[in-house]
A = this chain, B = another copy of it.
Amino acid sequence: MSDNPPQKQPLRIGVILFPGFQALDAFGPLDVINVLSRTEPITLSLLSSTLTPISTASPDIPSTTGQSILPTHTYATAPPLDVLLVPGGRGSRGSSGPVTEAITFIRTVYPSLKYLITVCTGSGLVARAGVLDGRRATTNKMAFREMRDLRPAVEWVARARWVVDGNVWTSSGVSAGIDVTLAWIGEVWGEEKARGIADWIEYSRHEDKDVDPFAELYGL
């Protein structure tokens, strides 16, 4: 953040939403960002193909419950961003309009970002955008083999709670999004800030990115 002027500009964060996103993939990091924004200047955009409310329910899974969230911008009206956060979920698969438009947006916006953060199979969207080719990255552990086959040009890391390669932070499944967001905050604002937020939300963090009990659980 050394390129910021003394009068700090807000950090401009965007989060991608698509039908069938995993609620906690997005709302773990978002809750952390909401707490962060009580003391740090942040702007947040919730981005999707349209301004229609986006449901966590995926058309192809017989879950009976879901929640609908209001986007603030479409990809066409997205403001300039410093950070993009990409959640995963059942709906990150396939080639529906919302998925292909998310991938196109990620590919287009990545060169102007300071940081790109993924949770769970959100790394699959970013991989399909070509951003992870030749990079180290991780993903949901139950879906690890699926992600590896989706984009073999990525150096997929099986045993990691999260992986940092350059300005790309990829995390493991669902709740790992909380850990990677706190770790990223530690990098940008300092570890004391990250610890304060973790304590505030009474969250027992994974603090070591290389400790991953779920890799073993899923035989990786």
On A, residues with C-beta under 8 Å from B are 10, 13, 22-24, 27-28, 30-31, 33-35, 37-38, 41-44, 46, 53, 56-57, 61-70, 140-142, 172-176, 178, 199-204, 206, 213-214, 217
Contacts and interface: CB of A to CB of B under 8 A. Distances in A.
Contacts of A142: 200
**Max count, chain B CB within 10 A of own CB: residue among A43, A46, A175:** A175
A161 to B, nearest CB: 9
A188 B41 CA distance: 43
A10 B33 CA distance: 35
**Max count, chain B CB within 10 A of own CB: residue among A28, A44, A202:** A202
Contacts of A41: 64
B27 A24 contact: yes
A176 B70 CA distance: 26
A184 to B, nearest CB: 15
Given A174-B202, A175-B203, A199-B214, A30 B23 contact: yes
Contacts of A56: 34
B203 A217 contact: no
Contacts of A42: 64-65
Given A173-B202, A204-B206, A66 B23 contact: no
A123 B214 CA distance: 33
Nearest to A213: B204
A44 B65 contact: yes
Contact of A65 (B23, B33, B174): B33
A214 B195 CA distance: 12
Given A38-B61, A56-B34, A62-B38, A27 B201 contact: no
A123 to B, nearest CB: 13
B175 A201 contact: yes
20 contacts: A10-B64, A13-B65, A22-B31, A24-B28, A24-B201, A27-B27, A27-B28, A34-B57, A34-B63, A43-B64, A44-B65, A53-B53, A68-B69, A69-B70, A70-B70, A172-B202, A174-B202, A175-B178, A175-B202, A175-B204
